[in-house]
Structure formats: C-alpha cells, structure tokens
Chain A
Amino acid sequence: MIAVDGVSKSFGSFVAIEDLSFEVAAGEIVGLLGPNGAGKTTMMRILAGVFPPSRGTVHVAGYDVVKDPLRTRAAVGYFPERVSAYLDMTVSSYLRYVAKMKGFSGSAANSQAVSAMGACGIEAVANRIIGSLSKGFRQRVGIAQALTGEPSVLILDEPTSGLDPEQVADMRDLIRGLGEKRTVILSTHILPEVESTCDRVIILHRGRIVAVDTTGNLSRRIQRAGRIFVEIDAPVEDARQHLSQFAGVSSVESKPRSGDSAASFIVMTEQDRDVRAALASSIVQRGWGLVELRSVAFSLEEIFLTLTQDQEGS
C-alpha cells in the first residue's frame, strides 16, 4: 500500500531525512517513532503530498507521489501535527467543504461529512463554530477531516499530543477502530502509544531508520541479554549466591521485599541463552519454594535508548 524507496529530503543544505526505505502493507497500523527532529513530520508530509522527496521514490496506493500527485492525495487522509481548521466555520460546513475539495459534490459531500462526524463521535457539535471547540474536539474534527472522502490510507502526525489521559485513551480506541479497514501510519514520540496501537514500528533517529519491526519482535531482537524475574522462598543471601553462580547468568539484582518472606531478583543472562528451565529445577532441587519465574521483556523505552546509543556509537 505504501512503498518508500531510498527517500531523502533536504531543506537547503540541511538534510532532514536520508535514504529511508520501508513498506507498509494494506490494513497495517504502523508507528513512526522518534525524538524531536527525527524527521517524522517530514516523511509524513512527503506521503501526504505536501512536498516531493529530494531523492528516491514513494508510492502510495499504487500511485507515484511525484508523477501522480492528485491521485495519490485523493487516496490519503492527513492529520497534521499542527491541528488546523477554519475557525470561523461550523464543523459540518467545514467537513462539507473538505469533501468538496476531495472531489465530492452536493449530497455526496454531505453524506461524507455526516459519516466522518459519526466515525469520530462529533455529531453533537456539528453546528458549533470550530473556534469555540475544546482542544480534544478540534483534534477530532482534524481526524474527521482526514477521514472525509474515505481514503484508504491515513497519515496521522502525533494524533494524541496535547490531550488529557482520558482523551488519549479515546483517541487510541478511535485510531484502532479506523485501522480495522484502512492502512494507518501514525507518528509519536511516546512508546506506550506504539505498543498499544501499532502492529509494526519504524524507529527514526536524525533522519535515518534505526529499526523496522513488529512491536513484539523488536523487543525480542533487542533482548540480546535475557532478563528473568525470579521470586524464591529462601534466605536472601543464599538465594543470591546460588543465582549468581549459576552457569549463564551474568548479573543478579535483588528487588526490595514486598512484606512477605519470599526474595525477588532480576536476573540478567548471557546473550542467547535460555536458562529458565535449568534455573527452575535447580531451585527446586535445593528444596526452596519457587514462587515465580518469568522472563521480562524490555520496554520500547529501553529498546529505543539502546538503539539510538548504538547508532551514535557506530
């Protein structure tokens, strides 16, 4: 549905993104993740047809964004980072205008506006002036604007920024719902957002791709060293000694006790070694009670730090 191949974009001598290549299949929800200035907005503007890439090719819904800009744009709904709308229009007249700009006329434009309002839950404010709406509702009007015309691809640039936690949850639900029938690319610099919404994630840093993978795979891939949480019913020092002398374990960190008698540890293991089964049986053999043993995945927060540090190191 989206194919980006060797894309660079520079503004004057400043290179905003460099040699990006990735693909997004129909129906996927993909997160573009990166710190400020990583190039997320620049990439999304290219996808939405705001400006062409300096180098490389981009296909969206089968059309080349440079050779066939109007047809590409017709297939894409865009929600800009800077939420904007004509503040003097009512929600419904604004969305009708958007539908007309996207090529619908008369009653078709009207029904487009109505269904976009329905999808975003803003029917109640249909006749309000946009300038009088709260931030959360304006954001929804922005999403409705992107949805108008039933585009097959949605490009959402930081759709949850500036919302309160409840609105953020609502917005994520909304996006997940939209993603059921459409291809969605959303950008964010909040990791849990990607984890909760996206199938795959593309991590950008300083205009380059640092990693592309499924959200789950990525955390496994980065997990060069394994991490295990163990809770043992045994004297703390004995248990610690046993764990740290165990083959394949690189370090042991004890967790503060939470009232009961069991001792808990975070055990880091050497690369590519799964010691869980052996560890469990050795604990049981010593006659201790094994309360809990599970591997702990790295959060994207940690992955992200590791990846970007790797980049800087190389």
Chain B
Amino acid sequence: MTRIWTICRRELQATFGSVVAYILLAVFMLLSGYFFYSDLVFILLMASFTPVAGLWQWVFLDLRLVTLLIVPLVTMRLFAEEKKLGTIELLWTYPVRDIEIILGKFLAAVAFFLVMLLPNAILCALLFSYHPFDLGPLMSAYLGLILLGVSFIACGLFVSSTTENQVVSAMVTYGILVFFWFLTWNEEAANQAALRILLGLSLFDRFFNFTRGVIDIRDVVFFVLFISFFLFLTWQSLTARKWRGVP
C-alpha cells in the first residue's frame, strides 16, 4: 500500500519537475476559461432570464473537448518513459506488485487532472458569489467530467504500457477515445438494435446526461466499468513480460 503512494509521489515530482506539466495546465486553463466566458456571454444574450440553467451544458460539453485534447498528453509518458529508460525492469525487481505500480501511476495522473480542473472551479465559485444558483446541476456536471477524464486516463495508461514511444502513446490514445466518441455518429447506417448497443458504449453520450443535471446510476457504473476494464488491460500488458520477456 505505501508503495502505491511512493510511486504516485515520484510520478508527481517527475510531472511537476518538467515544463510540459505547466504548459498543459496553462493550455487547459486558457481554453476552459475562454469557453466559460464565451458560453456565459452567449447564454446571457440568448436567454437573459435564466442565465445559469443551460450554461453548464454548454460549458461542460466544451470542457469535454479540452479534456480529450489534454489527457492523452498527460498519460503518454507514464509507462512509455519507464520502458524507454529501462527503469521498468528495475521496478519489477522490487518487492512491489504490478497492481501497485499501476495504481500509483493512475492516481498520480488523476491528481494532476484534478489540479487541472481547479482554475475552472474557481470561475464557477466567482460566478456563484455574484449570482447564487442551484449547485445540483453543476455538481452533477463535475462528477460527469471527472468520470470522463478518469476514463481517458485509464485508457491512456493502458496505451502507454504498450509502447516506449510517447508520441505513439498519445496518438493511439486519441485514436481509441475518438473511436468511442464517433461510435454513434453514423446513426443512420446502423440498425436499431446495433444503435442501442453503440449508444450504450459511447462515453460522450453518457457524459451528456450528467451535463443536464441527471445522475443515472447506470451511467456511473458504465464509467467505473470502463475504467476498471482499462486498468485490467494495463495489468495484462505488464504481465505479458512473463512470456514475451523484456524488450
């Protein structure tokens, strides 16, 4: 257990020790701040009587895109860098379980993601102080965004464990996530039964419910399953050394 924390801390130190972390934080802050502002202005122009009701839907649908853009760049180095340096082999000689290595890195990325969301939360708090509103829908949207971001992280972590090239790691993660997004784009082509399954698998359609202030337990379960599935794949990917050897 303490080793999860040791790995997580080293990971965070490595992340914040490089300028990449600050660039990612800055880009996320600028983009999300810009969307927050423009959506606010737009809503005020369109429907000045209830400024906040529809706002979260707009803001969080935009945040979804920024998260999609940034998270693969956060997760790309997690295992790829260790494989490139060869330090992964050393980790395997310490008295630590593979699952602890995975959770340590996973938690570090989640912590970084939460830090990334902070400036945006401050904007919401500011808005609240000028113009108090119902907090329920905002909290629901935040829960959705966090579940979505953590799902991206689990996926990125897995891809990172399959390569030692960070660029490949980020690109393949984009590929997989965009696939889960586009699943429902060709609604016309698919028949009803297939569409229902595809809709069920689409991360983004499920996220949509949260932004409307609706927390459906099935959606939460789906995200948790999605995350567990990719953590399991990561574990399998590390275990593969037992028959494939160390490259």
Contacts and interface: CB of A to CB of B under 8 A. Distances in A.
A, B from the same assembly: yes
Interface of A: 11-12, 16, 42, 45, 48-52, 54, 70-71, 73-74, 76, 78, 80, 82-89, 97-98, 100-103, 105, 145
A11 B10 contact: no
B92 to A, nearest CB: 5
Contact of A85 (B87, B242, B245): B87
Contacts, number: 81
A73 B14 CA distance: 25
A73 B94 contact: yes
Nearest to B239: A51
Q: Which 10 A-B pairs have the closest CB atoms?
A: A84-B86, A78-B93, A74-B95, A101-B94, A70-B95, A48-B93, A100-B6, A82-B86, A73-B95, A11-B245
A97 B18 contact: no
A86 B88 CA distance: 10
Interface residues of B, number: 27
Contact of B95 (A11, A12, A71): A71
B187 interface: no
Given A84-B86, A86-B14, A101-B96, A52 B242 contact: yes
Interface string B15-48: 0011000000000000000000000000000000
Interface string B67-89: 00000000000000000011101
Contacts of B14: 86, 88-89
B246 A50 contact: yes
Contacts of A80: 86, 89-90
Contacts of A71: 95
B95 A100 contact: no
A97 B2 CA distance: 12
A85 B7 CA distance: 14
B49 interface: no
A73 B89 contact: no
Given A51-B241, A88-B14, A101-B3, A82 B95 contact: no
25 contacts: A11-B245, A16-B245, A42-B245, A45-B89, A45-B246, A50-B93, A50-B246, A51-B241, A54-B243, A73-B93, A74-B95, A80-B86, A84-B85, A86-B14, A86-B85, A87-B85, A88-B17, A88-B18, A89-B13, A89-B14, A97-B6, A98-B94, A100-B3, A100-B6, A101-B6
